[in-house]
Amino acid sequence: MAVTEIPPPPPVAHAHHPPPPAVLALHKQYIKKPIEQLADDPYILDLDNISDYHKTRLQPISELDKDRLLSDYKTFLEDGPENGVATELVADPDGIRTTVYTHKNVPGIQILPSLPPAVQTKVLERILLRDLSNPVHKTNLHAHYQLPYSQFSSDKPSYFHLDADTTFEPLDPTVHKPMTVQQALKKKLRWMTLGGQYDWTKKVYPEMVPRDGEEGVEGVDRRDEVPQFPPDLKRLIQALFPQITPEAAISNFYSPGDQLSPHRDVSEKSCKGLVSISIGCDALFLIGFAPDPLKEDGTVKTAEEVEAESKEHVLLVRLKSGDVIVMNGESRWAWHAVPKVIRGTCPSNLQSWPGELKGLDGWDSWMSTKRVNLNVRQMWDPDQETKQM
């Protein structure tokens, strides 16, 4: 994978800044855009049907070695205890995509299309059938519910294995009602953090800020306190992108109708790229920057001029199952969002997951209406000072 020089990050306080009006306007525009109009929109990059607009802007940047890639995939599929059906080796080596692309509109972005289906399934198994039931990896549910960790066993290793009437009791019954495991996984589960545990309210990693009574500035380096990032997922990411050391990840769980507002990931004290893996339903991914508000002569552009230029500074990608985005170079600090998850687009090989697995027939078709997105990042650079940027 090509390595692109990344500029210094914005201050961590910028994590709370609102998005530029031009980026927010595009996000809202595509939230409202009917699904049936997406295929004919020339501004949406579909790697299986590239429009004329993108043919001169999309550029191959590198070619991965197919033999090594196949070896890396096989290693991942054979790695660790078996808990599912993704133990087969990659069945179609000729179908492995090895070209990495970049795009003129967003300097530094890298796109690797379509991880093999067996690899996608294995990633799902690791995240949802193993890591989700590990109490060190927090979820949005922890803030309001007691999670039934005591009910896990060798026969029931995940939430999907628990009895359908298993109940999540609220921490405050005056605010939240009890809910079943079916309700939790189908409707309420929104995100999970792996490795470094991100604080979504303060927009910091607890391992990077001082405790009460602890002297020093924000940015205290306590790497030894970070929960371990899953080793097998770490090896897969590093095999594909050796310049990145996975230390934290946020896994988002989307359903059609969900969206993610424009934001920037600036809380990490590392300039390494951010890796995003999509599995399940298609989604629109928006990434980019606001146009320069000034003309070359120093005069201010009109609102109409800024709006007309906005699409030249952003990229809209229709991400499909298995697609990988690397936010590298300038794109590492770009605004990005998910305006739409597209119903009815989950690949046929995933639609019945995990109901096809032994003992999980009650979860048939769970994945058919889901998009799972794994966002992996490095928290620190090895030679970086521990002061806040």
What pLDDT digit, counting tens, does each position of 8-17 carry? 777 666 677 8
**pLDDT score recorded for residue 222:** 65
Residue 287 lies in a domain: yes
Residues 63 and 86 in one domain: yes
How long is the chain?
389
Angle at alpha carbon of residue 355, lines to 351 and 357, rounded to 5°? 115
**Three-state SS string across 141-176, please?**
HHHCEECCHHHCCCCCCCHHHCCCCCEEEECCCCCC
Please report the pLDDT score of residue 98 as a whole number.
Answer: 92
**What is the band of 3 on the pLDDT scale with cuts at 50, 70, 90?**
low
Residue 154 domain-assigned (yes or no): yes
Helix, strand or coil for residue 333?
helix
Residues 94 and 229 in one domain: yes
Higher per-residue pLDDT: 240 or 298: 240
pLDDT greater at residue 252 or residue 389 = 252
146 and 266 belong to one structural domain: no
| H-assigned helices in the chain | 21-32, 52-55, 66-77, 117-129, 181-183, 231-240, 303-310
Do 127 and 150 lie in a common domain? no
Angle 117-129/231-240 helices, nearest 10 degrees? 150
User: Is the domain of 154 the same as that of 238?
Assistant: no
Residue 177: inside a domain, yes or no? Answer: yes
Position 87 scores a pLDDT of 45
CA–CA distances in Å: residue 210 to residues 89, 183, 201, 204, 318 = 46, 37, 17, 11, 41
Flag whether 54 is marked binding.
Answer: no
pLDDT, residue 49, reads 95
3 falls within a domain: no
Do 166 and 224 lie in one domain? The reply is no
What CA–CA distance (Å, rounded) separates 338 from 93?
Answer: 31
CATH of the domain at 126: 2.60.120.590
Say yes or no: 46 and 66 in one domain: yes
Are residue 161 and residue 283 in the same domain, yes or no? no
Least confident among 39-53, 90-104, 332-346, 364-378: 90-104
What tokens were used for 259?
A: 């969206």
Q: Is the pLDDT of residue 32 over 70?
A: yes
157 shares its domain with 201? no
Asked if pLDDT for residue 297 goes beyond 80, the answer is no
387 belongs to a structural domain: no
d(CA 71, CA 90) in angstroms, rounded, equals 10
Q: Helices 66-77 and 117-129 meet at what angle, rounded to 10?
A: 30
Q: Is 16 annotated as a binding residue?
A: no
Count structural domains, the chain. Answer: 2
Evaluate whether residue 1 is within a structural domain.
no
Domain co-membership, 233 together with 327? yes
Residue 387 above 50 pLDDT?
A: no
* pLDDT > 90 in the chain, percent: 67
Average pLDDT over residues 259-277: 93
Range of the domain at 204: 12-134+189-210+219-377
Amino acid 389: pLDDT: 31
Determine whether the annotation assigns residue 27 to a binding site.
no
* Residue 359 banded pLDDT, cuts 50, 70, 90: confident
For 127, the 3-state DSSP assignment is: helix
DSSP letter for each residue of 291-318: PPSB-TTSPBPPHHHHHHHHTTSEEEEE
Contact 90, 116 (CB under 8 A): yes
Co-location of 223 and 329 in the same domain:
yes
Asked if residue 145 and residue 244 are part of one domain, the reply reads no
